[in-house]
Structure 1
Amino acid sequence: MAEIALAGATAALRQTVGVLGNLVLKEGSRLSRLQEDIVWIGREMRHIQAYLEDAEAKQGGSRGVANLVIEIQDLACDVEDIMQKYLPRIASHSGKKFLGCLKSASCIVCYGYDARNFAVEIEGIKRRVEDIPRVRQTYGINEPNGSRGRDMCDEIRILPHSDEPNVVGFEGHIEDLVAKMLNEELQCRVISIIGMAGLGKTTLAKKIFQSAQHNFERSAWIYVSQQPNIKELLRDIAGQVGLEKKKWEENFNVNLSAFLSQHRYVIVFDDMWHIGTWDAIKNVIPTNTENGSRIILTSRNNCVGTYVGTHVGGKSSLHELRPLNEENSRKLFFERVIVEASDPPQLKTVGEQILKRCGGVPLAIVLAAGLLLSTDRLENAWKGILEGMGQDQDQCSKIFGLSYKDLPTNLKPCFLYFGLFPEDHEISAFKLVNLWAAEGFIRGSGVREVEDVGDDYLNHLIARNLIQVVRRRFDGKVRSCRIHDILHNLCIREAKEINFFNTQSDVITCNRGTGVRRVTTHGSNFEDYISLNYPTPRLRSMLSFSGNLRFVRRKMVKNFLRDFEFLRVLSVKCDYLPRALPNEVGNLKNLHYLGLGSRGYIEIPHTISNLKGLLTFDVQGAGVILPDVIWTMKQLRHILLPLYCVTNLHRTFHRIEICLPNLQTLYGLTEVVRCDFNFLHKLVNLRKLHVKFSSERIIEILSDPTLGLTKLEKLVLLNAGGEMLRTLNLSRYENLLTLKLGHFWWFRSELPRHHKLPPNLTKLTLFRNFLQEDPMETLKELPRLKILKLYSNSYLGSKMVCPGAPGCNFPQLEVLKIDRLEGLRELIVKEGGMPRLKELGIFQCNPITRVYVPDRIKNIMEIDNYR
């Protein structure tokens, strides 16, 4: 990962050299030594970068080269740390301020102290650089011959990728298991899918679940993993099956069990490792009902499947997956890697040899296919991949490792970062990209924003089959993703090898001691880690996914924050963080990402204004008391606030100048009647705006034709009702694709006319708007609307009609979802209306609701009116 550190060090060097150039002209020999050191570092960094790029591409199986690369990577990271430490001090002495400062004795001493320490640090770096040739010569370390790896993602073709689960070879399994799921006469209540890792257990379970889900009243998909938090697992089930929130607080287990007993449910427990996990949850999941409820289980251990089936009062249907046969292996492989007549004649032969080494393991096959699709279609290039797979029995592991080693250098740290998350964790793409940006793995350009570059990086990893898409947004962009547990283990193994990150359990035993750069904790409490008080002065990232019901003491957090000079990422999720975040958070001068989650309130101190490099401020997972200074932090790109946020907005906007020129995301903005929201005129780069409490003033500002939010893509207005909603005019927002309008209380509203809505609106969500007029009459005119969701009393009428005149009745609509419209008695879609509809869902409305639609729509309709 040295190339990332080198890039960061190079950027810091450029700034430093610029500052020094001006100072040397004014101060002459006083600064000439400092300038020499900076120039030397720049020259050596370029040489080191070139060496590493070649060595990483050529090292093959050479242990000596690998160790040398690790040492040089550490050296590059240390150089970046030095520049990060001294750059602000050098810059603070620039210009007239610097010349005036040198006149005072104290400033001269201060400057001399910094310059001397900087020189000492550089001397240490010089000795380490000079030692590199000696080590190579002494131990005979020579890089094997090989072609240089590609560095830029631009050279990789964007490959077509489908999120549809691969089912090659599973057709018989699917037909048989779906039949058993739906046959209520069978005693089998558990479908157990077992087999070694990589055979497609989750894929098969997903296909069965998707095929049969609509036949059950309630459903849930639960990722279990090796060390599950049973309480969080049960809460996840409760959320997915729809248990009322008020029943979560007291007697939760009893309430969940009673709720499930009343419904026909299907629950998938994916990747269950241990019998003890089932023992911990079996008293909450009712398994003695005769209503046809089902459990689907996947496991690598057939004993787990047999045990669960035995303990639910019925037989278990045990399905053991085995590697694909030769026919299905070829089908899966050559559906992805199409060898054309124009290709070299030996290409297919080499492809067959590569396929044979995959051993019929689907994951290995798709990864090998991803490797070939990102490689030149030349015989020698494909043979290089074949040779990298090795000849031993553990060829699949070689394929997994080769998929990582074949990545361009700038994608490798992005891939390894997945290992910081818990196993089977669903990862928000938005959060992931912002973490990459905070680490410096991705950088924008004059043409493209850093977030767009991050999306490209993620898509490259998906195209290589290294990352799985969990959910996509309506526009095709990735909403969330996951990594297969085999590749998750690969991330952890490779990360430890190069000291990229460490888990909490191995920080103390880490053989590099104070060289720990990143730490992740999950499955244990954050307080357990910080109480160790283990010295990690070079720490750059701290991610915690704890969830135990314990308070983290303020004194411990205060001590923890005191000495992290190089920390860039702090993302902590605990049940109870201290109410008052210590002022010491202001010491984290290089922090770029701050994410906090807690059940209680967190008071953010004013010292947060010291974080001049902070890009993302995410406190969605906690109640927050927010300081005024947050609105003056010019560099912020993303502000995400929670539902419960105490802020001084009504005073702030009159006292200080709101200045957030780089802001792209403002989530959870609290509207206060006494506020003037003219500051929105200054947010020229805003892409996403979420307002919690809307008023006539903010509607007026958003409707102002002089408002320059030309980049706005998503707008959420909550509690915007009555007359004010009708006056909303968004006709100028050509880039606004997503709009959500809703209310928390009973407040009758009226939609604006269609010509006042965004001209390119693609997705519209309405909830609790209590409309009296049929919304179809207005919305049918929207020319680009693809997704329409009408939720929770968004409409009070009893009849909803989509006319059939072609051309102007939802011409592009593909998805219509209607949920909890309690007064709806009749839905009519006339012939010719909604010509492109692909999905119609009606959920939890009224059992007597009648639906009249053309035959073409009946086949795609799903109705679930269980109350």
Structure 2
Amino acid sequence: MAESAVSFLLQQISTFLLTQSTRLGGLEREIQFLKDELGSMRAVLKDAELKKDDDSELKKWVGQVRDVACDTQDVLDEFIMRFAHHHPDGFYGRVCNFYSSIKNIRARNRIYSKIESIKCRVKDISERHNRYRSDYDLSEKGSYAADVEDAVSHLRGNALLLEEDELVGIENPKSKLISQILDGSSNLKVVSVVGMWGMGKTTLVKRVYEAVNVKRQFQLHAWVTISQTFHMKPVLKDLIQQFYDEIKQPVPQQVESMDGDKLRAFVKDFLKEKRYIIVLDDLWKLDSWEAIKSAFPETNSQSRILLTTRIVDTAFGCCTKSNDYVHKMQFLSDEESWTLFCSKTFEDDCCPPHLVDVSRGILHKCKGLPLAIVSIGGVLASKDKSKVVEWEMILHNLGGDMEGIGKLESVKKVLLLSYNDLPWFLKSCLLYLSIYPEDRKINVEMLIRIWIAEGFILEREGRMMEEVARGYLNELINRSLIQVAELNLAGSIKYCNIHDILQEIILTKAREQNLVMLATSGDYTRLPDNIRHIAILEFVENHHDYNRFKHLRSLLIFGYRNQLNESSLSKLLSGRPKLLNVLNLRGAKLKSIPKEVFKLFYLKYLNLQDTGVEFISQCVGNLQNLEYLNLANTYVMELPIGILKLRKLRELSVFHEGDYSKNYIVRGFKAPREIGRLLSLEVLRSIDADNDETVREIGKLTQLRELSITELRREDGKELCSSLGKLTNLCELFVYSINEDEILDLQHPISPIPRALQLLSLTGQLEKVPQWLSSLQSLTIIGLLGSGLREDPLESLQDLPNLVEIIFNKAYEGEQLCFKAGGFQKLKKLDLTRLQQLKWVRVEKDGLPCLQYLIMADCKQVNELPWDIQNTNKLQHLGFYNMGDELVMKLQDKGSEEYQKIVKIPEIVIANWIDGQWDTHFL
């Protein structure tokens, strides 16, 4: 992590010197010195961090480099906070400047003194740096390769751990792979097996490779381990050696002196007209495949290449032909996990009753990962079965127990192999995930916003920060370090999570470096003085000294044993965490925001969602660096003019859901005049359209990706359409009329059409479906609520190529909906609610081929199933809520024709609203 801290600092210094040069004076030379010295150290830090665990002196030096980088960043930020303020012109401005100049002399001297102190520390660290480069064989290129090869040997050993057992759950994927290999296709075929560390990729492929019916199909067989530090010549020579061993002949002498090109040509010539199977185990980079693939001839010999990798892009990048195949490894089920655990842990494969609960708890942390189950089972097998306390210690401190315990330490080394391969900015992003409680599904939108606020995301010219951050997330998923927990119907990631074993390890690593701490009780005195990120899992009121929080960059509270009110928040911030970037207070019972919050100059992320906050003061304008302000589900109804000072604001969410005094209406906020001055806004939820000027101002916010506008009147429609034509980046749009009887007049042309729009929700009366809607080629979700349309709205939607979800709620007053042949080719979810006049739903032949979810609610005149529903092959869920008695009786009668149509659908729900709650039945 020292490498990440120094790399981040060097980036910050470059920006600092560029933007603050006129204010620095003599400090510029000192800061440039720090940049040069730390830049020199960075070249060997990666190598040093790999070696530090074996030597206390080297570990101490790495820690000192990290600490001096963090302290330097603090001083630079303090300088900006002190000297970057601009005072107004005129007499008042001159007075402010006079008093500021007196204070600034003292502040400049204090900062200069701190920089001199850091400079002395850097000189001392630099002297040891030069000595360690020779003592520990550290170089700019590093001896990283040697350490990687050691780690790879651990990986191979762990693969054998799995092979010692009859690994459960392997037969089905084994059969699939064998069928792909023996499918009879004549051309060379590549089969990739991809999955995170420890999932049994090597075990599975070895079982396939050694299967009798596979062995006898091929003339030549070879297995090569590639590893992270790929070198082409040794790999090709290894292949040649195996080929000649198989034909029982010596390798020609000239092979030893061949260069890479000649070796490739030799292998290709040797394999020509032969049927071969080659395994490339643990392929990391696509470049490695590109370097050697030309050695494998594309003949009609039915030859096969099998490869294993933990990198998703590598797996698919190697399988580019139509007959190639990618197999994604799956975690073991709970039942399979228990079977494997018991077979490894207990001699008779049976868990003693008094160990069942603790064993289940340990197994839960393994989350179906075979290597973790086998490794932990092997450790527990040597434990005294009568001493439950020893087992509980492993359960409660699994990350720490990995240190120094052979098999568990091997699991850690396998994982760290992937971690060490990350670029420095991805290491920061991954370690930050340790701040989330175990088993918590992580909201991707929130995670991305916090990453940006923490400064982990590097700017890329021509790309929005959120786009870059999503690229980081996808890369961590691609490297099998983060798992996708939930996708939306359009295939975008809603929630992610991290494997418990990995989380334990990165949390331990983050603690070692005083980066992240989880506080599970009210005793905050145990936290290190220089801790940077704190997650309080359960806030407890206490009277401790909070001065140890002065280095904090983020404070997240996930739960409350004692309610956090204004007084307790003031105490929490009394330690002056003046460099705080992130403050998450979601769910706190605050009615107002203490003044201490508005003194946090560097605050970029402020989450007050689900609090009792009733108003925002003008002091919000002091938060000059604020980028994300979340006031969702609070009682704030109006924002002060001070909000217009927040020129860096990216997201402004102020709304309240659940106010059902008016049907369908989400309560928004009244914006100050000239809201269009917030030119950095990308997300705006939910602004009241209280006059033409507000709607016109929205058109100035050209960076908007998400917009929710409430209280729209009929006369505002033309101005809104004009503004929408200026929002070329818009991806999500929610429009709410001022009441359920008000017409949304959106028939006016929009030019240009917002081509990026993916989600559109219109709540209010519509005379017609807007003409421009049929041109939204990127649209994936459409919601029409309270529209009261008299003509079938499907005509305007059927040709939208990417539509996956339709929500009609009191949207149509006709008797029939017709899904025509050829339309809605990607539709996965259909929600028909409160269509009071609807009697039939017709689907023409081959219609709705991808439908997975059908929900009908309060459509009481529908007395028969919508169509020949049994022919909808992909339907997974069928839900009927408050439907007519006649239809419900048919569905519940197992002898009826209607029941026979739905009997094969996996999940069928019938529910009625009775006495204020749902009476639900599953067929």
Alignment partner, residue 661 of structure 1: 679
Alignment partner, residue 420 of structure 2: 405
Alpha carbons of structure 1 residues 859 and 506: separation in structure 2 relative to 1, 3 Å: closer
Residues of 1 paired with 2:624 and 2:65: CA distance? 30
Relative to the length of structure 1, the TM-score reads 0.67
Does structure 1 retain, via aligned residues, the 8 Å contact 2:312–2:479?
yes
Residue 612 (structure 2) pairs with residue 592 (structure 1): no
Alpha carbons of structure 1 residues 349 and 142: separation in structure 2 relative to 1, 3 Å: farther
Moved more, 66-75 or 502-511: 502-511
**What percentage of residue pairs aligned between the two structures are identical?**
21
Residue 156 (structure 2) pairs with residue 142 (structure 1): no
Residues of 2 paired with 1:534 and 1:332: CA distance? 61
Residues of 1 paired with 2:415 and 2:76: CA distance? 36
Matches within 5 A, 1:542-621: 542-548=555-561, 550-562=562-574, 563-577=576-590, 579-621=591-633
Alignment partner, residue 536 of structure 2: 521
- CA shift at 1:17, angstroms? 3.5
Q: Which has the larger radius of gyration?
A: 2
Residue 78 (structure 2) pairs with residue 85 (structure 1): yes
Alignment partner, residue 271 of structure 2: none
Alpha carbons of structure 1 residues 332 and 71: separation in structure 2 relative to 1, 3 Å: farther
Does structure 1 retain, via aligned residues, the 8 Å contact 2:525–2:545?
no
Does structure 1 retain, via aligned residues, the 8 Å contact 2:618–2:642?
yes
Alignment partner, residue 109 of structure 1: 102
Residue 578 (structure 2) pairs with residue 637 (structure 1): no
Alpha carbons of structure 1 residues 485 and 795: separation in structure 2 relative to 1, 3 Å: farther
Residue 670 (structure 2) pairs with residue 649 (structure 1): yes
Residues of 1 paired with 2:54 and 2:118: CA distance? 28
Residues of 1 paired with 2:433 and 2:504: CA distance? 10
Alpha carbons of structure 1 residues 769 and 61: separation in structure 2 relative to 1, 3 Å: farther
Does structure 1 retain, via aligned residues, the 8 Å contact 2:311–2:480?
yes
Residue 483 (structure 2) pairs with residue 468 (structure 1): yes
Supply the AA of the counterpart residue of 1:494. K
Residues of 2 paired with 1:839 and 1:627: CA distance? 46
Alignment partner, residue 271 of structure 1: none
Does structure 2 retain, via aligned residues, the 8 Å contact 1:420–1:520?
yes
Alpha carbons of structure 1 residues 126 and 333: separation in structure 2 relative to 1, 3 Å: farther
Alignment partner, residue 554 of structure 2: 541
Residues of 2 paired with 1:855 and 1:92: CA distance? 68
Secondary structure, aligned partner of 1:576: coil
- CA shift at 1:533, angstroms? 3.1
Matches within 5 A, 1:276-287: none
Residues of 2 paired with 1:416 and 1:406: CA distance? 14
Alpha carbons of structure 1 residues 332 and 702: separation in structure 2 relative to 1, 3 Å: farther
- CA shift at 1:610, angstroms? 1.0
Alpha carbons of structure 1 residues 505 and 65: separation in structure 2 relative to 1, 3 Å: farther
Moved more, 57-66 or 590-599: 57-66
Does structure 1 retain, via aligned residues, the 8 Å contact 2:644–2:677?
yes
Residue by residue over 1:147-174, the C-alpha shift from the partner in whole angstroms, topping out at 9 and shown as x without a partner, is 4779xxxxxxxxxxxxxxxxx9548899
Residue 696 (structure 2) pairs with residue 678 (structure 1): yes
Residue 735 (structure 2) pairs with residue 717 (structure 1): yes
Residue by residue over 1:9-56, the C-alpha shift from the partner in whole angstroms, topping out at 9 and shown as x without a partner, is 4455445544665468xxxxxx4x333323323323322333434434
Alignment partner, residue 786 of structure 2: 769
Residue 48 (structure 2) pairs with residue 118 (structure 1): no
Residues of 2 paired with 1:822 and 1:171: CA distance? 49
Supply the AA of the counterpart residue of 2:136. N
Alignment partner, residue 310 of structure 2: 369
Secondary structure, aligned partner of 2:77: helix
Residue 93 (structure 2) pairs with residue 75 (structure 1): no
Alpha carbons of structure 1 residues 538 and 699: separation in structure 2 relative to 1, 3 Å: same
Does structure 1 retain, via aligned residues, the 8 Å contact 2:41–2:129?
no
Pairwise CA RMSD: 4.5
**Structure 2: segments with no counterpart, 5+ residues:** 146-166, 174-195, 212-222, 227-231, 240-277, 285-306, 319-401, 658-665, 881-909, 912-923
Does structure 1 retain, via aligned residues, the 8 Å contact 2:629–2:651?
yes
Secondary structure, aligned partner of 1:351: strand
Alpha carbons of structure 1 residues 43 and 540: separation in structure 2 relative to 1, 3 Å: same
Residues of 2 paired with 1:375 and 1:72: CA distance? 40
Residue 373 (structure 2) pairs with residue 443 (structure 1): no
Alpha carbons of structure 1 residues 863 and 35: separation in structure 2 relative to 1, 3 Å: closer
Does structure 2 retain, via aligned residues, the 8 Å contact 1:729–1:752?
no
The total of aligned residue pairs comes to 660
Matches within 5 A, 1:179-190: none
Alpha carbons of structure 1 residues 491 and 600: separation in structure 2 relative to 1, 3 Å: same
Residues of 1 paired with 2:605 and 2:683: CA distance? 14
Residue from 429, 437, 440 that aligns with 1:425: 440
Secondary structure, aligned partner of 1:740: strand
Alpha carbons of structure 1 residues 472 and 2: separation in structure 2 relative to 1, 3 Å: same
Residues of 1 paired with 2:75 and 2:142: CA distance? 33
Does structure 2 retain, via aligned residues, the 8 Å contact 1:55–1:69?
yes
Matches within 5 A, 1:153-172: 170=169
Residues of 1 paired with 2:510 and 2:734: CA distance? 40
Residue by residue over 1:74-111, the C-alpha shift from the partner in whole angstroms, topping out at 9 and shown as x without a partner, is 1101101000001243445999999x979987555333
Does structure 1 retain, via aligned residues, the 8 Å contact 2:532–2:551?
yes
Does structure 1 retain, via aligned residues, the 8 Å contact 2:768–2:789?
no
- CA shift at 1:540, angstroms? 0.7
Supply the AA of the counterpart residue of 2:743. E
Alignment partner, residue 737 of structure 1: 757
Alpha carbons of structure 1 residues 142 and 488: separation in structure 2 relative to 1, 3 Å: same
Moved more, 430-439 or 781-790: 781-790
Alignment partner, residue 702 of structure 1: 720
Secondary structure, aligned partner of 2:424: coil
Secondary structure, aligned partner of 1:85: helix
Moved more, 689-698 or 534-543: 689-698
Alpha carbons of structure 1 residues 338 and 814: separation in structure 2 relative to 1, 3 Å: farther
Residue by residue over 1:251-294, the C-alpha shift from the partner in whole angstroms, topping out at 9 and shown as x without a partner, is xxxxxxxxxxxxxxxxxxxxxxxxxxxxxxxxxxxxxxxxxxxx
Does structure 2 retain, via aligned residues, the 8 Å contact 1:3–1:410?
no
Alpha carbons of structure 1 residues 534 and 775: separation in structure 2 relative to 1, 3 Å: farther
